[in-house]
């Protein structure tokens, strides 16, 4: 049992290293491009609305926008890493080399989700470094920043893993991203405070788990938020546990990868 655990730990580490190397080898596309996209959002929205919108009473719009863009980049890139890796392995046929190893479903989960977290955090840090010069948002409570960054990346890495297991072609991954991930991200308060919304959309936003990720993350910068960070943490934590259980069960069964 000890030998099996040691093998799976070493195997998970090797697979994790392979997944990190996979996106790092093309970092101009996987890291630099998302950073540039976030900067373009900031330049356009910040320049247009800076003198017209104040949030939380005193926070300028550009400063308010930066944490939202950072977290949006973290979420989208964490999802893209695990989902694209699995679907590429399915289509090219090299997934068989993993299937012949006695790696446990836990090893698969830790490697794929762990690498997704790394990519999400690297991109998010890149966005923060580049955009912070425009309007430093401050660091009121850094612990919340780290907690929600890790949980957000973990949730999306896990969701990407589930999508990659389910999909059989790139079109399905694109549909999952375009019709689920993107709408939930844009309707989560990245570009606005939800209290500026009419009642219907306010209720929709409160049903969106992405809102709690971004709101809790933003609390770490300003010390204020639309919802208590403890409520956000409990909702986001529960979402991660639920998705992790589902992903581990699908991996254990070999869903769409062993047939």
Q: Tens of pLDDT along 57-100?
A: 677 788 889 999 999 999 999 999 999 999 999 999 888 888 88
Domain count, the chain: 1
- Is residue 169 in some structural domain? yes
Buried b (16+ CB within 10 A) or exposed e, 175-208: ebbeeebeeebebbbbbbbbeeeeeeeeeebeeb
For residue 259, tell me if it sits in a domain.
no
Q: Is residue 232 part of a domain?
A: yes
Closest to 230 (Cα-Cα) out of 147, 154, 155: 147
Q: Does 171 have pLDDT greater than 90?
A: yes
Is 190 contained in some domain? yes
> 190 with 217: CB under 8 angstroms?
no
Cα dihedral sign for 177, 181, 183, 189? negative
Cα–Cα dist 88/45, whole Å: 35
Q: Does residue 258 sit within a domain?
A: no
Average pLDDT over residues 137-145: 90
Residue 59 phi, psi (nearest 5) = -80, 125
* Higher pLDDT, residue 196 or 222: 222
pTM of the complete model: 0.91
- Residue 173: give the domain boundaries: 2-253
């Amino acid at each position: 049992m000890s030998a099996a655990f040691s093998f799976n730990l070493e195997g998970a580490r090797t697979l994790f290293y392979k997944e990190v190397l996979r996106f790092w080898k093309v970092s101009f596309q996987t890291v630099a491009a998302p950073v540039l996209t976030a900067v373009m959002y900031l330049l356009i929205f910040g320049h247009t609305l800076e003198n017209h919108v104040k949030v939380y009473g005193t926070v300028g719009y550009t400063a308010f926008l930066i944490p939202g863009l950072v977290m949006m980049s973290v979420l989208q890139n964490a999802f893209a890493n695990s989902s694209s890796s699995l679907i590429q392995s399915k289509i090219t046929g090299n997934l068989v080399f993993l299937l012949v190893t006695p790696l446990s479903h836990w090893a698969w989960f830790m490697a794929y989700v762990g690498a997704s977290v790394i990519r999400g955090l690297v991109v998010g840090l890149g966005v923060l470094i580049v955009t912070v010069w425009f309007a430093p948002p401050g660091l009121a409570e850094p612990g919340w920043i780290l907690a929600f960054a890790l949980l957000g990346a973990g949730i999306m890495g896990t969701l990407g893993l589930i999508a990659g297991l389910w999909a059989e072609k790139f079109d399905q991954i694109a549909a999952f991203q375009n019709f689920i991930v993107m709408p939930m991200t844009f309707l989560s308060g990245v570009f606005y405070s939800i209290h500026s919304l009419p009642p219907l959309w306010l209720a929709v936003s409160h049903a969106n788990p992405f809102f709690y990720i971004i709101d809790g993350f933003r609390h770490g910068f300003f010390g204020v938020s639309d919802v208590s960070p403890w409520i956000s943490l409990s909702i986001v934590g529960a979402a991660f546990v639920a998705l992790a259980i589902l992903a581990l069960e699908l991996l254990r069964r070999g869903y769409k990868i062993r047939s």
